[in-house]
Structure 1
Amino acid sequence: MFKQILQTHSFEPILLEKAKGSWVWDVDGKKYLDCVSGTWCTNLGHNHPRIIKAMKDQMEKLIHRNMWFLTPVTLEAAEKVLDFVPKKFDAVTFLQSGSEVTEYSISLAQRVTKKRKILSLKDSYLGAFGLARESSYHSGIASKLKIPYPICSTSNCSCLDEHIELIDHILQKYADELACFVLEPIMVSGGVLKPCKAFIEELCKRLQNAGVLVVSNEVTTGFGRTGKKFGFEHFDIRPDIVAIGKAMGNGYPVSAILTNNQITDGLTPAEMYYAQSHQLDPLGSVVAKTVVDIFVEEQIIKKSQPKIKQIREIFESLSHPFIKEFRTHGMLFAVSLQSHGNILSKEILIKLKYELLKEGIIAGASLGKELLRLIPPLTITTNEIKILDEKINKAFNSIY
């Protein structure tokens, strides 16, 4: 099937044709409630009318330009994004994908510090290629260092006391080699896992005191996905670099890196150099600008809070012996499954995914982690949540 497409990964035997809001339609006219927001991108729902209009207007003026020139809309977008992100930043550049912006964030940190090693948490996913790929799940060169981390849900935890030796060890052994610590505030690919607040705050503070830069990878967690504008706001930290993507384009490929002049002032123009054909293109810029405007003017994050609560209550009401754990952080939901009776957890996950698909619900499934994941648009409606409730209960009840 689909032999003309290079099989870089597996595909469902369904051809999608159009989308609107929380819904997508296949070529046969069947509609599906998209509870993974495309590839975790459409926080505002598919084909938002303001974004479509802004793109059409810009396409009639200028889509692409030579990379040595800027456009007014790019300068406007830069100001909008800088104003939207907390913990004031001075400068931004627009790229295309989350993988690219994470790659450049790491590369920039290495140029600034003149060091090579990259620190991250063991369940982090940082990108699909290059330095970021080496620091994700994939095997790579010795520049990467992945560490275990505590998870807890209380403010009076003893995690820091129990893991202070790990922080001491990292600083004593690697501080002189570390360029940056890349923090994914919630490990979404890793299983919707949030590291202990006290541990992350102490780790970031001591690393920054030792001259190690902190990069907050907000590609998935940015733009309201965790219940706040950005995931790093769940911690009392101040990142040196922020990488954003996915929801900033709401389905269009645009990403951004933000940093401060004090970080880059010591670099020569040659050391700062990074260029690709579509960097800072006006079409991506107008999308980013419009997305920020919608988030601010329509109070998207505030309005998503009761809907987050509604969906959380759906999962909390489920009572099945094959449910191991339920995790939620903002509009991120995951159900960890376990084997029960003669049915393996992997089989349960596959059956759940396809029962939901049959019922018109697109959900994510992580084989190997045995995790069912839902990441719906922040703009999902109350009526759509009622449909989701009905279909989830039907799918879960179908296992036995």
Structure 2
Amino acid sequence: MPEHAGMEAAVNHLLNSYTDVDVDIVSGQNCSLYDHSGNRFVDFEAGLWSAALGHSHPRITRAITDQASKISHLHTRTPNTVAQLAAETILGITGLAGGKCVFLNSGSEAAELSVKVVRHLVRNRKLLSFANSYLSAYGRAGEKSEVDFRLIDWSNMELHELDAILNDIPFQEIGGFILEPGGSGSGFVRFPPSELVKKAVEKVRQNNGIIVANEVTTGMGRTGKWFGIHHYQIEPDIVILGKGLGNGYPVSAIAIERGLAAQLEEGGFTHVQSHQNDPLGCRVAQEVVMTMREEGLVERSKETGAYFLNGLLELTRKHDLLSDARGRGLVLALEFASGNKLNASWAYRQLLKEGFLVGCYPAANILRFDPPLTIERDDIDLLLQCIDSILNRAEDGLIDTEL
């Protein structure tokens, strides 16, 4: 794949609050993105993990166009059939049939609302979560402060330490467990031990606590199952959805178990936002679920992810610069060995030059891959060949090793 040129020098009027790259993407189709010069980039991040069906999916485009021509936005006091149908669908796939839904715009909003809901129900009791989980970009969920949360750091623990860690937690003071069930939205692609998750859930349940599954990054087929929590055989009371739910359109949701929903409504709980339960977002969410079902994309995620991971593992066996490859479904990571000049950040830049958009997390020294669930094996093979090639050339001194 030829080296790609960046966009021409221009005045940037966007606040640079996060590291960006000099590429001007103007269109996309499935897993292919194109810049203003027609150069192709293969998107192995699905935008920001959101375009689960690929870019410009025709069914989603038609749904947006059709619904926008009818009604896009309504007052939150005005119920609409589109939202009701979407809620029924979401409750069905989350296993919370008979419950209630709220639709919002982003995963962060949904996570923050979930914290608000649980705290309303449990009052002054704290919430349990994992230290390396990412719940929200802001608010109480994002801060995970000691006032609201008790955190478990399992990243460096051994299995024999499980009971000691859990015995140190006063579960009578814990009102809920907000579980990010795999991959870590913080980017590290590490999955909490099943025994730890199940024991923590059991202890929270014994103390009448609420189990919340934060599926913003792990839901909608990303891990090879509909939801990441399905890898742990746990039935949550609340499920948080975002990202893949809208295939790039900004819609999120929380699904709430029937009994808790009744408590909220009887207890006078209120929450109002400008775009709550908007028909357009709800129509998109409904169409995304239907498309995933009809195209078998959850099963495809599992099978394609296994193929992808096998290729990454083969690279780790071949190159000493690589220390690990791991994944579940189509959330995968390739970790570079520490102490080398040739690290993940260097590889990220090299891959961008070759036309591949991947994730990069310098703190963990990993490349991360969250492509659309529609990714073709031919594109996976091209990426694997490219990684192999740049590492071979670097090891032979035939490529620039500067960042």
Q: What is the TM-score normalised by the length of structure 1?
A: 0.91
Distance 2:89 2:191 in 1: 29
Which residues of 2 match residues 182-261 of structure 1 at below 5 A? 182-186=178-182, 187-261=184-258
- Give the corresponding residue for 1:374: 369
Match for residue 300 of structure 1?
Answer: 297
Which of 283, 292, 314 does residue 317 from structure 1 map onto? 314
The residue identity in structure 2 corresponding to 1:296 is: R
The residue type paired with residue 232 of structure 1 is I
1:181 aligns with 2:180: no
The aligned residue for residue 401 of structure 2 is none
The count of aligned residue pairs is 383
Distance 2:226 2:98 in 1: 15
**TM-aligned CA deviation for residue 388 of structure 1:** 2.0
Conservation of the 8 A alpha-carbon contact between 1:191 and 1:371: yes
The answer to whether the 8 Å contact 1:351/1:399 transfers is no
3-state DSSP class of the match of 2:375?
coil
Aligned to 2:391: 396
Local SS of the residue matching 2:239: strand
Q: Which residue of 2 aligns with 1:155?
A: none
Q: 1:348-382 deviations in whole A, cap 9, x for unaligned?
A: 22210011101110011111211111111110112
CA deviation profile, 1:137-163 (whole Å, cap 9, x unmatched): xxx4532221122689xxxxx82x531
- One of 57, 60, 65 as aligned partner of 1:56: 65
* Shift in alpha-carbon separation, 1:314–1:229, aligned structure 2, 3 A: same
CA distance in 2, matches of 1:9, 1:2: 17
Q: How many angstroms apart in 2 are the aligned matches of 1:10 and 1:150?
A: 26
* Cα 1:267–1:53 shift into 2, 3 Å: closer
- Which residue of structure 1 lines up, in the alignment, with residue 398 of structure 2? none
State yes or no: 1:130 paired with 2:139: yes
Contact 1:348–1:399 (CA under 8 A) maintained in structure 2: no
What do residues 252-284 of structure 1 show as CA deviations (whole Å, max 9, x unaligned)?
010010111212333356742011010100110
Task: Answer whether contact 1:179 1:213 (CA < 8 A) is retained.
Answer: yes
Aligned partner of 2:15 in structure 1 is: 6
Give me the whole-angstrom Cα distance separating, in 1, the residues matched to 2:217 and 2:154.
20
- The equivalent residue for 2:153 is 148
Partner residue, 1:337: 336
Partner of 1:46: 55
- For residues 61 and 34 of structure 1, the distance between their equivalents in structure 2, rounded to whole angstroms, comes to 32
SS in 2 for 1:76: helix
Per the alignment, residue 82 of structure 2 pairs with: 73
Offset at 1:331?
0.7
Task: Give the 3-state SS of the residue equivalent to 2:350 in structure 1.
Answer: helix
- The answer to whether the Cα contact below 8 Å between 2:104 and 2:276 also exists between their aligned partners in 1 is yes
Render the CA deviation track for 1:69-119: whole Å, top value 9, x for unaligned: 022111111111112223546111111100000011111000011125222
Amino acid aligned to 2:104: L
SS at match of 1:290: helix
Match of 1:29 among 38, 44, 51: 38
Unaligned runs of at least 5 residues, structure 2: 1-9, 396-403
Q: 1:164 to 1:87 in 2, by over 3 A?
A: farther
Deviation at 1:302, TM superposition (A): 1.7
Whether 2:29 is the aligned partner of 1:20: answer yes
TM-score when scaled to structure 2? 0.90
Contact in 2 for aligned 1:42/1:250 (Cα 8 Å): yes
Whether the aligned pair in 2 keeps the contact of 1:150 and 1:196 (CA below 8 Å) is no
